[in-house]
Structures are given as C-alpha cells and as structure tokens.
Structure 1
C-alpha cells in the first residue's frame, strides 16, 4: 500500500497576476501535487484575491450507543484509495468588490477526481480534460486518443480519471473581506 506522510495541508498565495503558472510549483516539495489556484478577476486589483488550498480526510470517531461521528481533519497521512476533501478558499483582501472572479485549480497529481464532487455556492463549475486548455460541464467533455500504430484518432467521453482541472466562476461580486469556498474530492492513488 502506498502512503505519503507530512502532507502540506495549507497553501496560500495572493494571485498578484493573472498568469500564475501552477506547473512552476510541480516538484517543489508540494506533496500529492497540491498546487495553488489561478485566479482572474475584474473590478479589483489582481493581488487583492488570495486563494488557499486545504486538504482534509474524514476521520470516524466512536460515540456512545454504538454510533460513529465523522469529522474532517487535516490530511497528515494519505493511503492509497483514501478520499481527500479539498477546499479552495477565495478571499478578497482589497477595498473594492471583485467582479467576474474565476479560479482554476489543478487536480493534484497522484489523485483521481471524484465524479460530481466539485461545488461552489454561487459559482458556475466546469472541468478540463486537456490540461486546462478548455473547460466544459462534467459529462460533456471528450478525450481524443492516438492509437498505436498510428491510425485514426479515437474520441471518447472523458471519465473522472481524465479530468485535470476544476474551474469556478463566481456569479456574484466578492465583497471586500469576503470569502467564497469552492470544493472538490479526489482519491489518492
């Protein structure tokens, strides 16, 4: 069984620019591929939007009367097949409302997206199966595979294993000091 320990559960970054390269963080002691979200906005300065990624796992605790209580705890150790609950906190630290906020989060490496798990109250959610180049609704994306030897490429519906990025577009302006939460789940492999 594969396990990873000392998972960094909290990453934070002011967007500073609309061109943060998530791939620049790859291989830099960011366990399980947890990468920063890319945020683009209108109506406020780009460096006023802060994104924070939190990774948690579910812990079941015995309770009286043969019951169990579940709670989310920081992901300290991951085991193969374990589900990870990711929360992207989107905070407007500026003095003006941020309109048209869009946040893109790469699905961490060594994980597989859990179908229908991406959510964000007041947000339009879409996914990518091509490294973040294009986005669409879950279940409506396709993947083109090049068979070997080279024949006609095959196009098939994308599966959760194919998804590479999640995008949230906030429908409403984000007030100064306000925080929006976006979530998704993935399974460690």
Structure 2
C-alpha cells in the first residue's frame, strides 16, 4: 500500500480509516484471447494508467455522517478525465492544492477558461449517506503516470 495525502472528515468525531490501493492492468494470453488482471503498481512506465481504489472504513460502533474524503492526485501522475467514481457520492475537484473544490464543469482557470484534467490536484468525494459501523465505502479514479 502506498500512502498519499488523504483527508477524511465527518460530522461526529469519528476516526475513519483510509487505504489507497494503486494497481495496473496486466495483459496475458494471446491477441485473439487476451486476459486481463489487476496487479499492484510496483514499477510504472511513462504513459501507463494507474487504477486507484480508495477504501474508506468506519471501524467505530457509530454511524459517520456527512463524510467527505479529499484525496491528493499522486505526484507524477495526471488525472484521467471522467474516471472518478464512487457509489452514492458527489465528486468535486481542486486545481489549487485542495484549498477550494467544485464540480469538474465549474472549475475555471484564472483567465476564465475551463480547467483541464491535467491541472487537477485533488479529488473530493462526499458520501450522500451515513457510513455504517464496520462498513467500507469505495472511491475510484485513474491517473496516467508521467
């Protein structure tokens, strides 16, 4: 497991656990019958896509309400447009180091132009529902290794 800056907040003083898992898609078999599997990202080549899964776990005996998770896009990678997902979440992005967040459609550069994905520095997932005791929520995104 590789750790990158992750910030988790909830309404209550609940300590949630996060784990960021980085994987790459490995291809085997023949060109006519390829097979794919996900393997840990240990060595990366320039231009390779990394599949990130963020596990958000509530190890406490109480519900965690209004959970939001801010994840820094790892260094030397560029966010792949449209790849952030998370069931039951609202997703926002930052282009200023995580100071402010907005939906991708609303992110603007200082000159008023739409911010391209290569400018994204952080992703925020807001869970629409409370995270139950013992439950784990998954958030995902892809990034290209530079």
- Larger-gyration structure (1/2): 1
Q: TM-score, length-normalised on structure 2?
A: 0.95
The equivalent position to 1:141 in structure 2, one of 78, 96, 107, is: 107
Query: Equivalents in 2 of 1:70, 1:143: separation in Å?
Result: 38
Secondary structure at the counterpart of residue 75 of structure 2:
coil
| Structure 1 position 73 matched with structure 2 position 30 | no
Deviation at 1:139, TM superposition (A): 2.6
Deviation at 1:81, TM superposition (A): 0.3
Q: Which has the higher strand share?
A: 1
- Within 5 Å, which residues of 2 pair with 1:102-113? 102-113=68-79
Deviation at 1:84, TM superposition (A): 0.3
| Structure 1 position 51 matched with structure 2 position 8 | no
**Structure 1 runs (4+) greater than 6 angstroms displaced:** none
Q: TM-score, length-normalised on structure 1?
A: 0.74
Deviation at 1:155, TM superposition (A): 3.1
- Within 5 Å, which residues of 2 pair with 1:154-173? 154-173=111-130
Query: Equivalents in 2 of 1:87, 1:138: separation in Å?
Result: 20
Task: Count the aligned residue pairs.
Answer: 146
Deviation at 1:73, TM superposition (A): 0.7
Query: Equivalents in 1 of 2:56, 2:5: separation in Å?
Result: 11
Gaps in structure 2 of 5+ consecutive residues: none
- Name the Cα RMSD after superposition: 1.4
Instruction: Report Cα offsets for 1:33-82 as digits up to 9, x if no partner.
Output: x5131000023x332x001000000001216x931111111001101000
The equivalent position to 1:185 in structure 2, one of 132, 136, 142, is: 142
